[in-house]
A = this chain, B = another copy of it.
Amino acid sequence: MKKLINSPDDVVQESLRGMEAAHADILKVNYDPAYIVRADAPVKDKVGVISGGGSGHEPMHGGFVGRGMLDAACPGAVFTSPTPDQMEEATKAVSSGKGVLHIVKNYTGDVLNFETAADLCQAEGIEVEAVVVDDDVAVKDSLYTAGRRGVGTTVLMEKIVGAAAERGMSLKEVADLARKVNAQGRSMGMALTSCTVPSAGKPTFELGEGEIELGIGIHGEPGRERTSLKTARELVDYMGEAIFSDLPYKSGDDVIVMVNGMGGTPLIELYLLYAELERVAKARGITIKRRLVGNYITSLEMQGFSITALKCDNQMVQLWDDPVHTAGLRWGV
């Protein structure tokens, strides 16, 4: 395993130290329990918005803490949901009396730990609403399974819902908006290479020179299907079809999209993929109103990408354009 680290056990903590040192104007870090919180938290008269999940997805979530987005983020061990004590303390740290929204990605661990945290917070008189993101069209959903994974829509939700909270909306309004974003957002990902969990010391899976994994999540887990290498055009055709036909999106719809690298994908490729996505959207009569192209929700050093599309209305676009000042996203300030 080749990584730019000191020891596998210290990666998360040492990376948090760097984040804190680099972004003192935006955020503070608490180490025990671990959470990243806005430098000016709690913000008076504002619904708190927090999220969390395993580390290894940077800039998500810590890179989205700041004005106009998250009030706090709880980083777990690499690819491992954080624990309820982190979420409880983070919730308290951002609570200003208007309630706190928990943005939870749909993984058994995340859901269970956030549930416990919500119980603990509610027992202490903090009103908590949890919204679960489950947008991954690669996962076949059913009553009897754990449902779909939460992936890229999380980033768009954190931006939009964070702006709504910043505008002073109530907990109920913010939570309803978050559910609407989840209902209208869809994602799919693929990998050219695996990644290596530092403590595991070797790649989670092995791919041959001509092989790719289609329908991966964000934890280095294998995808739904192993197949042969494809061109960017073929991949975006396939993934675009899977996403756009799932909601389904109709001709005339407006969307916010994200072409997201898995951490080891160079920007030159992401822009090339974005050009393909524009083509696919145009062919379906779908208008891309806003977009992100970059590494936003990653799996360590994995090479690959995901596409997220969010059917949007004017309000969502306005909230998207609202100022945001975080380590990972910044505009309007």
Residues of A within 8 A of B (CB): 2-7, 11-12, 14-19, 21-22, 55-56, 58-59, 63, 192-193, 209-210, 212, 229, 231-233, 235, 263-276, 278, 291, 293, 295, 298, 300-301, 303-305, 330-333
Q: What's the least CB distance linking A254 to chain B, in Å?
A: 16
Q: Quick check: A274 and B6 within 8 Å, CB to CB?
A: no
Known interface pairs A2-B193, A2-B210, A264-B265; 17 further A-B residue pairs with C-beta atoms within 8 A, sorted by A's residue number: A2-B303, A4-B232, A4-B273, A4-B304, A14-B272, A14-B275, A17-B272, A17-B275, A18-B278, A19-B271, A21-B275, A55-B268, A56-B266, A263-B266, A264-B303, A330-B331, A331-B333
A278–B23 Cα gap in the complex (Å)?
12
B11, B192, B209: the one contacting A4 at CB < 8 Å is B192
A293–B58 Cα gap in the complex (Å)?
12
Q: Is the interface of A mostly helix, strand, loop or mixed?
A: mixed
Q: Quick check: A209 and B2 within 8 Å, CB to CB?
A: yes
**Given A4-B272, A18-B274, A273-B18, A267 and B295 touching (CB < 8 A)?**
yes
Contacts of A301 in B (CB 8 A): 264-266, 303
Q: What's the least CB distance linking A9 to chain B, in Å?
A: 13
Q: Could you say how many copies of this chain the assembly holds?
A: 2
Contacts of A270 in B (CB 8 A): 4, 18
Contacts of A332 in B (CB 8 A): 333
Highest count of chain B CB atoms <10 Å: which of A271, A298, A301? A271
**Given A11-B272, A267-B58, A300-B268, A231 and B18 touching (CB < 8 A)?**
no
B209, B265, B278: the one contacting A21 at CB < 8 Å is B278
Closest Cβ neighbor of A264 among chain B residues: B264
A7–B331 Cα gap in the complex (Å)?
34
A226–B237 Cα gap in the complex (Å)?
42
Could you give 5 example pairs across A and B, Cβ below 8 Å? A14-B275, A15-B275, A18-B275, A58-B266, A301-B303
A16–B233 Cα gap in the complex (Å)?
15
**Given A21-B274, A268-B58, A275-B17, A212 and B2 touching (CB < 8 A)?**
yes
Q: What's the least CB distance linking A273 to chain B, in Å?
A: 6
Q: Quick check: A293 and B212 within 8 Å, CB to CB?
A: no
